[in-house]
Amino acid sequence: MIPVLSVSEFISQINDIIAGEFIIEGEVSGFKTSNGKWIFFDLKDDSATLNCFSTIFTLRVPLEDGMKIRVYGYPKIHDKSGRFSLTVQKAELVGEGALKRAYELLKKKLESEGIFAVERKRPLPFLPQRIGVVASGESAAFGDFKRILNNRWGGVEIILRHVLVQGEQAVPDILQALAEFDACTAQTRPDVIVIIRGGGSIEDLAAFNSEEIVRAVYNSRIPVIAGIGHERDVSLVELAADVRASTPSNAAEIVVPDKRDFIAGLDFELEHMEQNLKHQVSKKKQNLDQYFYLISSKLELPIANGRMLVSRFVQSLSALGASLKNKKEAVLFGERLIKSSDPKHLLKKGYSITRNKAGVVIRRPDQVVSGEEIVVELEGGKIKGEVLEN
Partner 1 sequence: MISLNHMPAKEKFNFAKSYAELQKIVEWFEKEDIDLEEGIKKFEDGSKIVKELKEYLDTMENKIKELKK
Binding residues for partner 1, per CB under 8 A?
125-127, 129, 132, 146, 149-150, 153-162, 177, 180-181, 259, 262-263, 266-267, 269-270, 272-274, 276-277, 280-281, 284
Whole-number Cα distances in Å, 331 to 159, 199, 324, 341? 111, 124, 10, 15
> Closest approach of Cβ 60 to partner 1, in Å?
40
CB 255 within 8 A of CB 124: yes
> Closest approach of Cβ 241 to partner 1, in Å?
19
Half-sphere CA count of 366, side-chain side, radius 13 A: 0
> Closest approach of Cβ 169 to partner 1, in Å?
16
Torsion over CA: 221, 225, 230, 235 (sign) = positive
Q: Considering beta carbons, is residue 78 or 162 the nearer one to partner 1?
A: 162
Q: Considering beta carbons, is residue 97 or 125 the nearer one to partner 1?
A: 125
Lateral strand order in the sheet of 382-386: 353-356, 373-377, 382-386
Q: Considering beta carbons, is residue 26 or 132 the nearer one to partner 1?
A: 132
Which amino acid is it at 73?
G
CA distance 171 to 211: 10
CA distance 3 to 10: 10
CA distance 311 to 319: 12
Q: Considering beta carbons, is residue 191 or 238 the nearer one to partner 1?
A: 191
CB 91 within 8 A of CB 59: yes
Q: Considering beta carbons, is residue 86 or 224 the nearer one to partner 1?
A: 224
> Closest approach of Cβ 260 to partner 1, in Å?
9
> Closest approach of Cβ 259 to partner 1, in Å?
5
> Closest approach of Cβ 38 to partner 1, in Å?
54
> Closest approach of Cβ 162 to partner 1, in Å?
7
Q: Considering beta carbons, is residue 274 or 373 the nearer one to partner 1?
A: 274
Half-sphere CA count of 65, side-chain side, radius 13 A: 7
Which of 229, 235, 227, 230 has its CA nearest to residue 255? 227
> Closest approach of Cβ 280 to partner 1, in Å?
5
Length of the chain: 390
Q: Considering beta carbons, is residue 105 or 273 the nearer one to partner 1?
A: 273
CA 292 and chain centroid, separation? 47
> Closest approach of Cβ 54 to partner 1, in Å?
47
Q: Considering beta carbons, is residue 277 or 337 the nearer one to partner 1?
A: 277
Whole-number Cα distances in Å, 368 to 34, 284, 357? 161, 89, 10
Task: Give me the helices (H) in the chain, please.
Answer: 7-18, 95-113, 140-152, 170-182, 211-219, 236-240, 248-255, 259-341, 343-349
CA 148 and chain centroid, separation? 28
Q: What is the 3-state secondary structure (H, E, C) of 75-106?
A: EEECCCCCCEEEEEEEEEECHHHHHHHHHHHH
- Specify the DSSP class assigned to residue 361: B
Q: Considering beta carbons, is residue 159 or 376 the nearer one to partner 1?
A: 159
Task: Count Cβ atoms below 10 Å from residue 46 Cβ, excluding itself.
Answer: 6
> Closest approach of Cβ 270 to partner 1, in Å?
6
Q: Considering beta carbons, is residue 124 or 346 the nearer one to partner 1?
A: 124
